[in-house]
Amino acid sequence: MFEGQPKGLWTLALANTGERFGYYTMLAVFTLFLQANFAFDEKLTSTIFSSFLMFVYFLPLFGGMLADKFGYSKMVTIGIFIMFAGYVLLAMPLGKDSVAIAAMAGALLLVSLGTGLFKGNLQVMVGDLYNDPQYAAKRDAGFSLFYMAINIGAMFAPTAAIKIMDWAQTSLGVSEADSYHYAFGVACASLIVSILIYYVGKSTFAQVITAVKKDAKATANAVADELTPGETSERIICLCLVFAVVIFFWMAFHQNGLTLTFFARDYTATTSTGVESMMFDVTNLVAAIFIVFGAFSLFQGKTSKEKGIGAALVLLPIAYLYWNYTNLPEVTKVSAPIFQQFNACFVVMLTPVSIALFGWLAKKGKEPKAPVKIGLGMLVAAGAYLLMTMGSLGLPAPEYDAANNNLHMADVSPNLLVNTYLILTFAELLLSPIGISFVTKVAPPKYKGMMMGGWFVSTAIGNFLVQIPGYLWGNDLYIVWGTLMIICLVAALFIFSIIKKLNKVA
């Protein structure tokens, strides 16, 4: 699984891991911060949250255009420093007045601008590593591994946010509203780590930087000569059709920071006991991940040493989990933001399963092409919201007290949300890394940065539409979840209706 990948993949992945850790630490508590610090209601919170996500994913279009002209590495470096400035501004406890609101808006703009320069261009650099013929067949697997690595940062982010906030409240005596700024401070530190990784490991991807700075224009023109104007147009049209479907996936997927977090806060049990409670300790999730990786090494290892390492990676985490089980507290507190760790955990855990499955199918000549995987991803996402619809039947609509504070309406088992995140992760692995790989493969070379920006624009539009279910919050829950389920189904039907056209260029 890890063999035969270019060294630069790991450097770029780890640099992105640090950035994603900061981003998701901030995102895990952001909507709750808006309500706790500024007393915004769900509708205004939804608008701010979705608008921020929209700009985070819309601005890579312009970041890609700038990189096509000035170089990808340069834009990545500038972007990370701009993001850092935004997180610093969020970390400053400026109160609740109009100045604080303006500072918050300014911080979001800086984070969006910085991400626009950083995110897409780093992924184009990853794609360029696979232009070398010796790595070409590893492109999809490489992007899956890249996607897995960056989710390691996202997996620890909710725990980091909760722990630092608890520490600030108990040790420093700050209020809950002010404790959020400490979580934003963690994001600042993570970006410092990210930029250090990028510069220390620069030699591992030097060939990509050289190609971008000196030879990109010549290479693009040479390959462009091999594509007729009709072929170029066909590729762009096919990519735009995929982008149209991606819009609705991200609308559904990014409910993890909005309506699914509202459900965690208002409808999910706030405590857990027994084996179930173990999943709320991130170290137990890490142990489970080691077991999965150890099992692959044990059964696929070619030498006795590899099999021995695999056995150790299985047995030691099992012993750790048993020890943790025997020392469980009577009751474990369950905070709403903690549920956001599960998606990232499942990405890391299931990526080797996904790579092994598609590798096995490829050997048999039956691996589905990227557009088919994307369509299947939409169907799986619909299944996640079918589960939420079924699990919410009989629950009352949200209610509020006299001060317009949310009331805790029920104590639904946390397993409902955890299983929903599991299904959404299956959908994400079918769609997101495969889609990014598809863009880097199909995009006409001289429009590569712009087309990667187009992927993010579609994500941006989807993120802006995230607010629609937020506006539906307050109605019966089956309306919220049923709307998302139907949208995913319609998008899946659309992509399968044009699958022959898309497979032609895949």
Is 1 part of a structural domain of the chain?
no
Q: Answer whether residue 2 is part of any domain.
A: no
Of 333, 357, 381, at which residue does a domain stop? 333
In terms of domains, do 258 and 300 share one?
Answer: no
Q: Quick one: 302 and 355 in the same domain?
A: no
Q: What is the mean pLDDT of residues 334-346?
A: 88
Same domain, 78 and 28: yes
pLDDT of the residue at 214: 46
Residue 9 amino acid letter? L
Q: At which of 309, 333, 357 does a domain end?
A: 333
Q: What is the pLDDT of residue 388?
A: 96
Which residues touch 175 (CB under 8 Å, ≥6 apart)?
169
> pLDDT confidence of 403, banded at 50, 70, 90?
confident
Residue of 103, 101, 93 whose CA lies nearest to 184 = 93
Provide mean pLDDT across the span 291-315: 86
Helix (H) or strand (E) holding 12: helix 7-38
Q: How confident is the model over 338-343, as a mean pLDDT?
A: 88
CA distances from 71 to 16, 78, 126, 208, 475 (A): 18, 11, 14, 10, 49
Reported confidence tier of residue 435, pLDDT bands at 50, 70, 90: confident
Please tell me what DSSP assigns to residue 130.
Answer: T
pLDDT of residue 32: 85
Answer whether residue 240 is part of any domain.
Answer: yes
CA distances to 29, 53, 147, 186, 237 from 449, rounded to whole Å, are 32, 20, 19, 31, 16
CA distance 43 to 27: 17
Q: Is residue 218 domain-shared with residue 308, that is, in the same domain?
A: no
Task: Flag whether 444 is in a domain.
Answer: yes
Average pLDDT, the chain: 87
**130/277 same-domain check:** no
Determine phi and psi for 474, rounding to 5 degrees. 120, -20
Contacts by 358-364, CB closer than 8 A, 24 or more apart:
358/140, 359/141
**Are residues 344 and 311 both part of a single domain?**
no
Final residue in a domain of this structure, among 293, 310, 333: 333
Residue 347 and residue 470 in one domain: yes
Mean pLDDT over 40-57 rounds to: 86
CA 259 to chain centre: 17
For residues 19 and 157, state if they share a domain.
yes
pTM higher than 0.75 = yes
In terms of domains, do 265 and 277 share one?
no
**Is position 147 within any domain?**
yes
- What confidence score (pLDDT) does residue 492 get? 94
Give 188-228 pLDDT, tens digit per residue. 999 999 989 999 988 888 878 755 444 445 555 555 557 78
pLDDT at 427: 94
Q: What is the pLDDT of residue 351?
A: 84
- 327 contact partners, CB below 8 Å, separation of at least 6: none
What is the pLDDT averaged over residues 119-132? 84
The closest of 275, 289, 355 to 322, measured between CA atoms, is 275
pLDDT of residue 228: 81
Residue type, 393: L
One domain, residues 303 and 436 = no
Helix (H, G, I), strand (E, B) or coil at 273: coil
Give the closest residue to 139 by CA, choosing from 150, 151, 149, 128: 128
Q: Are residues 316 and 176 in the same domain?
A: no
CATH number, domain with residue 28: 1.20.1250.20
109 or 401: which leads in pLDDT: 109
Domain count of the fold of the chain: 2
The answer to whether residue 174 sits within a structural domain is yes
C-alpha neighbours within 13 Å on the C-beta side of residue 440: 22
pLDDT, tens digit (0-9, with 9 covering 90-100), for 151-161: 888 888 888 88
| Residue 267 pLDDT greater than 80, yes or no | yes
Winning range, highest mean pLDDT, from 142-146, 220-224, 241-245: 241-245
| pLDDT given at position 426 | 92
Whether residue 63 is found in the same domain as residue 112? yes
pLDDT of 269 > 90? The answer is yes
The pLDDT value recorded for residue 414 is 95
The answer to whether the beta carbons of residues 282 and 159 sit under 8 Å apart is yes
More confident residue, 352 or 420: 420
Range of the domain at 290: 272-333
Closest CA to 325 of 289, 288, 355, 371: 288
Q: What whole-number percentage of the chain has pLDDT above 90?
A: 35
- 489 within some domain: yes
- Residue 373 buriedness (CB in 10 A; 0-12 / 13-18 / 19+): buried
Q: Give the count of beta carbons closer than 10 Å to the beta carbon of residue 356.
A: 15
Rounded mean pLDDT of 399-407? 80
Q: Which of 413, 465, 408, 46 is nearest to 259 (CA)?
A: 46
Instruction: Identify whether 254 is part of a domain.
Output: yes
pLDDT of residue 93: 87
